[in-house]
Amino acid sequence: MRYALISDVHANLPALQAVLADIASRPDVGACYHLGDLVGYAPWPNEIVATLREAGIPGVAGNYDSTVATDYKHCGCKYEDRRQEELSHLSYGWTRAHISGEAKHGALGRLCRRCALG
């Protein structure tokens, strides 16, 4: 059996939809998991969480997921320069302000740090 692993979606719904369509077209893929960082940067955090939940795709928390779920002061991200850091803080604040309670506590807050496959 082959596994499909999805990582660093960062709230990009059109990209996730394209990836899920591609995975669905591959009959040799028997299971799909996400590797975290579902939210942040793009404007669809709630839709990403709902899409993965509806598709029954389990996974683990990334740093962005766990920091949003716990209302941490920043995402714990690394930056290449000051401008990138400034933009990241703006994006993180936007995500925290727009994520629903259900997505935050009902999904992101329940993600584990690791899981066993098989």
Q: Which domains does the chain have, with CATH numbers?
A: 2-110 (3.60.21.10)
For the stretch 13-57, pLDDT in tens is 999 999 999 999 999 999 999 999 999 999 999 999 999 999 999
Is the pTM higher than 0.85? The answer reads yes
The DSSP line for 17-71 is: HHHHHHHHT-TTEEEEEE-S--SSSSS-HHHHHHHHHHHT--BB--HHHHHHHTT
What are the pLDDT digits (tens) for 76-107? 888 899 999 999 999 999 999 999 999 999 99
